[in-house]
Structure 1
Amino acid sequence: MTTTIETTTRAVIAELLRRIGRGDPERIAELYAEHADWKLNWPEDEHGNAATPWIRHRATRADAAAHYRELAAHHAPGEADTRIERVLVDGADAVLLGEIRQTARETGRAYRARFALHLTVEDGLIVRHHVYEDSLTVARAFTT
């Protein structure tokens, strides 16, 4: 039986995917709470890599917009293909499983990386964004 919370979670996730597909960072960021728990599978004590500035921890709605702008700026336009294979919803939590296919703008190297994205929705906004991906594969695509 689907609860109202699960219905809301599914609706927010569907809207997030639509907005990501359209590529407007400001509109995507509107779906995030003003303060959100945003983490990537990157060491806590490291603040990212200069070649991959979007791979870092974030905390605010403005950070979310910056993430999507940086992601777009460093990848070849028209060469992205993210495939969502499964969306699992349990109350306010959702897990998306899939594969990212991108091309690094700086090096021209294509890469593929499997991922799991754990999102939590509260009051119609995303309050948790935890990404588990092969960040090493991504970083290597940008290494000259």
Structure 2
Amino acid sequence: MSDTRTVIDEFFRRVGNGDIAGLGEFFAETVDLNVYGAEEVPWTGRRTTKAEAVAFFKTLPEYLQPQEFSVAKVFIDGEDAVVLGRMVQKVKPTGLLFDSPFAFHFTVVDGKITRYIAYEDSLALARSFGVG
């Protein structure tokens, strides 16, 4: 599994199946993973290693309960992919819903994800987490 489309498709298949432990095989040892947002939201911020990327995905279920997740479009340009869609998550600490469109920017080099940048409604996320 080395081409960008195959890696992205398998990544989302595993996320959809709840196979968070298996995501580690997709990340390079050094990665640029960033989720923009309020510092009070535990999973926002930058990660730079495979271990930190895996820990990020393992942390999400502690705080979020998926309600809806849909991928509308995947754009591939060589090593880069942009995935557009919509997600609705229940924020466990508050019981509030986080409803947001998203764009995820991936870079895949030699079959490994080297970049994962999440663009989502960070204000709505902060508010559903009880911040702001």
C-alpha distance in structure 2 between counterparts of 1:127 and 1:65, whole Å:
13
Is the CA contact (8 Å cut-off) linking 1:25 and 1:66 kept in structure 2? no
Greater Rg over alpha carbons, structure = 1
User: TM-score, normalization: structure 2?
Assistant: 0.91
Name 1:70's counterpart in structure 2: 59
Q: CA RMSD in A?
A: 1.6
Structure ranking higher in strand proportion: 2
Which 5+ residue runs of structure 2 have no aligned equivalent? none
> Could you give the per-residue CA deviations for residues 68-112 of structure 1, whole angstroms, max 9, x where no partner exists?
111111023xx4321110000011100000111000111111120
Q: 1:32 aligns with which of 16, 27, 33?
A: 27
List, as ranges, runs of 4+ consecutive aligned residues in structure 1 with deviation greater than 6 Å: none
Which 5+ residue runs of structure 1 have no aligned equivalent? none
Name 2:117's counterpart in structure 1: 130
C-alpha distance in structure 2 between counterparts of 1:64 and 1:30, whole Å:
11
User: TM-score, normalization: structure 1?
Assistant: 0.83
C-alpha distance in structure 2 between counterparts of 1:24 and 1:80, whole Å:
17
- Tell me the matched-pair count: 130
Identity %: 38
C-alpha distance in structure 1 between counterparts of 2:18 and 2:46, whole Å:
21
